[in-house]
Structure 1
């Protein structure tokens, strides 16, 4: 894409220059802006892949850290050139060099730190390795010059001594002059009680008539001539000394700046390399920042002319207003003909395909969902322009045809061609015939083609040729407005009769108009109407099916929740009954002991003939009379010798149902799967049936259903960011299939990047009802609890 056509006409036609303008807003320095200005789509597959990878790496860094330290970068190339030929740099230029060195060091540490944390950044990491550490030169400059560009006293011992002398002389001059302005005659002889400077010498303002009282040198006078600015004789010598100090100071500053400039010249090569790398960093992160601003994604690239866009938007239209569309081209069909009335969004669809292609080939992320795919074309051609008035139709047709002739001279199988209103601007019958012929020519060359037209003759074009498909932009007759939804496979209708009828045109006029429409046209329109009706019906049925599935899922979850609450309540009642019975027994025992004590006392007091063994026997009968509670649940059997293991087939006695052991959840308690239900059951309520037979391995795809075992938590600690998100996505799907109402995701505390990424994904998941951080007993901020709808 590097010829003049691609660098000029197509860039302007598809408004890629406006994309570059938005990209410039994200540049941090003139260096990055310069590279953005020079950005053009590439036709090299390898180069496009590299550019997409570097943008994706930068986007990964932004997801992890949210920012990048690219401030304080200056274009110091001219400074380096002047220093290299022996020129002396001024303090501001030296500070820009020191600031740029600091920025390069910060960027190097930033990228290397992310790599050390385990994130793979082969491109950005390699760039960071190429940055030389020039900290000594940075410190040398900063020790000599402050942030305001002033040379510091600490720049050299000589300069410190000179400035001490200079300040001492200034102090003595001020002391003498302050004696004049505080004198008893000052109010009379001076115009104002101030010390000022004229010709770099300290003076006082004296009234004209008292000039002789001060002597010395007159350096200036007021505009009225009534005030003279006089350097009194007593400070002339001190002012001369001050002037000498200033000259010495300037000489020493010049020497310091020359030394620093020489030091810069000595490392001009390394500094030049740093500038080149920082320019690349700025450019790459500007691409990533722009991608984030449009919620873009990295497309997978191919050399086969295949385009698959999911929910694609035009990047120059407001995100909250544009209607996203799915677009496919190049696999089952290589040509799309979009028909239908004007102002329906056909041109926007055409431009969306074109601009996304240019953006992808320039290494930019595209405004579409993840999983979108773009092709690398050698050239992209577009003939797009608004139709002009009837008086200008000849010039319009000529202009379009000149452009089309130029396209036909260049197009081949590695081209993408976009035609807007093909054949417009001339006689409809001839225009339609030309449009069909041009489409045939481009199609036969093997190019990928998208064309828009409102000629009804082209509606049948897609039915007669393999590799060609019709499409239209949906129009709502009820609201008399386009919906901007692209309908691939359905040609467009004019809807003129329906619109006219809605607007109140007489039915008799409409019926009369229909009599002028040929039978073929009526058949085509009826076919289109049937297609649209069938599509709407299918859409309605799909929506109803979706609602039924949602309701079934909700019912299942509600039932499972109620069953779990029932068993929890049952266990709670059993425990309360046991506690109450135990209390009654304990009270009975205490009463019996009390009675026995009384009997013993009576035996001793009355010498009654009550034998000790009779007392023991009485106590035994009391114990036997105490109620014995069956702490196993109803139908429970005696404790079995079998040691339960996950996977065992068991019978839940209280339900008289078979189930499978999933995992041990506590002391003497198991989680059991019974059909679609999972619940906790005590071992005493379980009867072992058998260990399941291992089935011979079959090469079949396993469909996970509600009885599929999934842990109630997943541990992501130690995982890479991208791998962790993939695992979360799969785990949520498995948990939903298993019918869990809630799960736990362990991500650890760390920097919070993994937690933020996981929570951001969960917030946008259709099946997630609520997320929260774990409480103190659940793992705190290192765990996210997920509740499903």
Structure 2
């Protein structure tokens, strides 16, 4: 529960928090205490937590005051103050006396005839008896109302009027004393207001980080690298789908070399999902939230502008086309080279020729502004414009023509068909209508469609070969890593063998030296012989420390010469 406003209220002069507000702050204080205890056990291994821990202040005084004044049900305790204890003691005495006097009436011999029910009840904060309306004149007292049926009249007997008056006064005194206690607690909370706010905000930060970690575990996300001039999202998933669906097909979004991407293809092919995926990932990235990608690069945008969906409005008298144009007019003046513009179904909702011309005009405007652009369209003139553009890359969503199901793959440097005839045929459109409609397609458009289909087939083949090449590259990298591991192990074994051999050689020389010492004890030039042996020993030691024998080297060892 957000207690920030309650804490700020407590800091005001003569303020009084309600019981509910005080208890909500008490719960937060308890939560801060538990969180501090939990984090404290992790500080020795995670030093970065110490700064967070310092902000989680403890409030034993407030906690103790609230616990001694308010019980778990949310009622102020008698022990909250001496005055409250006295007042409530008097209230209980008066209530006992009232009950005693009313029970005397309930036990009268004629009670069955006078009363509609033998109970004591309360009306207008005063103890009364339910008397039969027909017998109301038989008991002296004050009427406090009747039942909905009129059968019962609630009467305050004369014998308890003064006691009820006294009880009302005591209740008012009790209420005033409770307010005084609540003001005291409120004042105490206000004194610690700044530290309470700091601790509460730290608690919110911890809650946010915990949610972020949980989100990241669910989507298996990571951060892309920061780029200035390109967008690359490898195997990216729509963040919401990655969170809510078990199986999500990843896509590759690339805007590099050129700053614009025009995506074409049939409906349900995944164009809008790709558009939203890029937009959401950019927003999450700039909020320091991981995104579901394998790898990627993203610029930091000053603004992200979108025109997505059908925004027709009866209230504002806007058609689909008018709604799109109104949206564009609103944000186009703010577009620059550090903004991302996402346009779905560009040019839709009006005459295709005029819509296409207007779409190309918008794309040219965005080009002059050097903005990053990702747009989707069905219009052929816009597709042709993208093919010849030095700023926009044409792309299409892949579609299986046999099953008429999307593969959720983006094919770059290609344009996609809307596949209106294929989809209509699959949904049961009469064949004679389709035949007649196909005759109305211009010959130039048919030639263009066939050429486009051939190009798409080549692109599909290229994509498959590219996948095979990537697979081969990964296999080669794996083999290379294994080879390097074997080579490293062989070098280690050779090094150890070399050191072991030289160690044996040194031991051999020591043995010769010992034997020579015994033999030459009586020789004349003993000092010269010792010097000779010392020099040979040093030569071998130097070679041990500095020289490394390679395969193919010629070496001489213990009087013999050979190749390694």
The interval holding the TM-score normalised by the smaller chain is 0.5 to 0.7
| Alpha-carbon separation, structure 2, partners of 1:329 and 1:694 | 52
Q: Do the aligned partners of 1:305 and 1:414 also contact (CA within 8 Å) in 2?
A: no
SS at match of 1:382: strand
- How much has 1:165 moved relative to structure 2? 3.6
1:319 to 237, 245, 249: 245
- How much has 1:106 moved relative to structure 2? 3.0
Flag the structure with higher helix content.
2
2:344 to 412, 420, 423: 420
Q: Name the residue aligned to 1:265.
A: 190
| Alpha-carbon separation, structure 2, partners of 1:494 and 1:219 | 83
Change (3 A) 1:377 1:228: closer
Q: Do the aligned partners of 1:338 and 1:453 also contact (CA within 8 Å) in 2?
A: yes
Q: Do the aligned partners of 2:366 and 2:373 also contact (CA within 8 Å) in 1?
A: yes
- 1:345 is the counterpart of 2:270: yes
Aligned pairs (5 A) from 1:159-238: 159-205=84-130, 217-220=141-144, 222=146, 224=150, 229-231=155-157, 233=159
- How much has 1:477 moved relative to structure 2? 1.2
Q: Do the aligned partners of 1:335 and 1:448 also contact (CA within 8 Å) in 2?
A: yes
Residue-by-residue CA offset, 1:484-542 (whole Å, 9 max, x unaligned): 32223443245567668888858998997788236972673254143145147538967
Q: Do the aligned partners of 2:128 and 2:155 also contact (CA within 8 Å) in 1?
A: yes
- 1:249 is the counterpart of 2:174: yes
Change (3 A) 1:173 1:479: same
Q: Do the aligned partners of 1:206 and 1:228 also contact (CA within 8 Å) in 2?
A: yes
1:375 to 299, 304, 310: 299
Change (3 A) 1:468 1:120: farther
Q: Name the residue aligned to 2:5.
A: 77
| Alpha-carbon separation, structure 2, partners of 1:477 and 1:192 | 83
Q: Name the residue aligned to 2:461.
A: 534
SS at match of 1:297: coil
Change (3 A) 1:74 1:212: same
SS at match of 2:43: helix
Q: Do the aligned partners of 1:492 and 1:528 also contact (CA within 8 Å) in 2?
A: no
| Alpha-carbon separation, structure 2, partners of 1:242 and 1:514 | 95
- 1:524 is the counterpart of 2:451: yes
Q: Do the aligned partners of 1:205 and 1:230 also contact (CA within 8 Å) in 2?
A: no
| Alpha-carbon separation, structure 2, partners of 1:399 and 1:187 | 77
Q: Do the aligned partners of 1:198 and 1:219 also contact (CA within 8 Å) in 2?
A: no
- 1:473 is the counterpart of 2:401: no
Q: Do the aligned partners of 2:32 and 2:56 also contact (CA within 8 Å) in 1?
A: yes
| Alpha-carbon separation, structure 2, partners of 1:120 and 1:696 | 48
- How much has 1:387 moved relative to structure 2? 11
2:72 to 137, 144, 147: 147
Aligned pairs (5 A) from 1:670-749: none
- How much has 1:140 moved relative to structure 2? 0.2
1:483 to 407, 415, 418: 407
- How much has 1:229 moved relative to structure 2? 2.3
Aligned pairs (5 A) from 1:547-558: none
Aligned pairs (5 A) from 1:444-455: 445-455=369-379
Q: Do the aligned partners of 2:6 and 2:21 also contact (CA within 8 Å) in 1?
A: no
SS at match of 2:397: strand
Change (3 A) 1:202 1:126: same
1:95 to 1, 23, 39: 23
- How much has 1:271 moved relative to structure 2? 3.1
Q: Do the aligned partners of 2:236 and 2:294 also contact (CA within 8 Å) in 1?
A: no
- How much has 1:312 moved relative to structure 2? 2.8
Aligned pairs (5 A) from 1:758-773: none
| Alpha-carbon separation, structure 2, partners of 1:221 and 1:519 | 90
- How much has 1:151 moved relative to structure 2? 0.9
Change (3 A) 1:265 1:435: closer
- 1:329 is the counterpart of 2:255: yes
Say which is worse superposed, 502-511 or 446-455, in terms of deviation. 502-511
- How much has 1:154 moved relative to structure 2? 1.7
Q: Do the aligned partners of 2:395 and 2:416 also contact (CA within 8 Å) in 1?
A: yes
Q: Do the aligned partners of 1:298 and 1:370 also contact (CA within 8 Å) in 2?
A: yes
TM-score by length of 1: 0.50
SS at match of 1:469: strand
| Alpha-carbon separation, structure 2, partners of 1:140 and 1:286 | 33
Q: Name the residue aligned to 2:560.
A: none
- 1:304 is the counterpart of 2:304: no
Change (3 A) 1:103 1:517: same
Q: Do the aligned partners of 1:84 and 1:268 also contact (CA within 8 Å) in 2?
A: no
Cα RMSD for the two superposed structures: 4.6
Unpaired segments ≥5 residues, structure 1: 1-72, 389-393, 554-645, 650-692, 698-789
- How much has 1:155 moved relative to structure 2? 0.8
Q: Do the aligned partners of 1:211 and 1:228 also contact (CA within 8 Å) in 2?
A: no
Change (3 A) 1:475 1:103: same
- How much has 1:316 moved relative to structure 2? 5.2
Change (3 A) 1:349 1:230: closer
| Alpha-carbon separation, structure 1, partners of 2:66 and 2:413 | 68
Change (3 A) 1:491 1:102: same
Q: Do the aligned partners of 2:66 and 2:185 also contact (CA within 8 Å) in 1?
A: yes
| Alpha-carbon separation, structure 2, partners of 1:405 and 1:206 | 76
- How much has 1:131 moved relative to structure 2? 3.3
Change (3 A) 1:225 1:401: closer
| Alpha-carbon separation, structure 2, partners of 1:290 and 1:362 | 14
- How much has 1:145 moved relative to structure 2? 1.4
Change (3 A) 1:462 1:219: closer
| Alpha-carbon separation, structure 2, partners of 1:115 and 1:465 | 57
Q: Name the residue aligned to 1:770.
A: none
SS at match of 2:407: strand
Unpaired segments ≥5 residues, structure 2: 313-317, 480-491, 496-546, 552-564
| Alpha-carbon separation, structure 2, partners of 1:509 and 1:290 | 54
SS at match of 1:133: coil
- 1:131 is the counterpart of 2:59: no
| Alpha-carbon separation, structure 2, partners of 1:212 and 1:468 | 97
Q: Do the aligned partners of 2:307 and 2:342 also contact (CA within 8 Å) in 1?
A: yes
- How much has 1:306 moved relative to structure 2? 3.2
Q: Do the aligned partners of 2:396 and 2:412 also contact (CA within 8 Å) in 1?
A: yes
| Alpha-carbon separation, structure 1, partners of 2:332 and 2:154 | 85
- How much has 1:378 moved relative to structure 2? 1.3
- How much has 1:304 moved relative to structure 2? 1.1
